[in-house]
Amino acid sequence: ILNVEQSPQSLHVQEGDSTNFTCSFPSSNFYALHWYRWETAKSPEALFVMTLNGDEKKKGRISATLNTKEGYSYLYIKGSQPEDSATYLCALEGNEKLTFGTGTRLTIIP
């Protein structure tokens, strides 16, 4: 069984500030770690897929790191913008499926 925990559950950040949140997992017995961005009434949108310890991925102002030895992944957003408001989901891929955390709900305050 893959357990995925995300923290914090919700976060309010001033526009322009940078922020980060965490996905933690007790076991490294998975194939890949996925980050998704999910806006209400839309499809979850894939951000990153990471497979190796030490992986770092970047897309614009958003980046992510993976540390399988210590059991966590961080998602960073630099210079938050209102359009970054969404729920960010972390998921572990293994046993023919994705196992999701409950997400971090990010609200950017203009």
Partner 1 sequence: DSGVTQTPKHLITATGQRVTLRCSPRSGDLSVYWYQQSLDQGLQFLIQYYNGEERAKGNILERFSAQQFPDLHSELNLSSLELGDSALYFCASSMDYVYTFGSGTRLTVV
| Least distance to partner 1, CB of residue 81, Å | 22
Please say which residue, 64 or 91, places its beta carbon nearer to partner 1.
91
Q: Considering the complex, what minimum distance in angstroms separates the CB of residue 73 from partner 1?
A: 16
Lookup result for tokens 């490294």: 28
Q: Of 14 and 102, which CB lies nearer to partner 1 in the complex structure?
A: 102
CB of 23 to partner 1, least distance (A): 12
Is the Cβ of residue 13 or residue 32 nearer to partner 1 in the bound state?
Answer: 32
Smaller CB distance to partner 1: residue 19 or 35? 35
Q: Which residues bind partner 1 (CB under 8 A)?
A: 4, 31-32, 34, 36, 41-46, 49, 89, 91, 93, 95-103
Say if residues 10 and 105 touch (Cβ distance below 8 Å).
Answer: yes
Q: What is the SS3 assignment for 82? A: helix
Q: How far apart are CB 99 and partner 1 at their closest, in Å?
A: 7
Tally Cβ neighbours within 10 Å of residue 51: 12
DSSP E strands: which ranges in the chain? Answer: 5-7, 10-14, 19-24, 32-38, 45-50, 56-59, 62-67, 72-77, 86-94, 97-100, 104-109
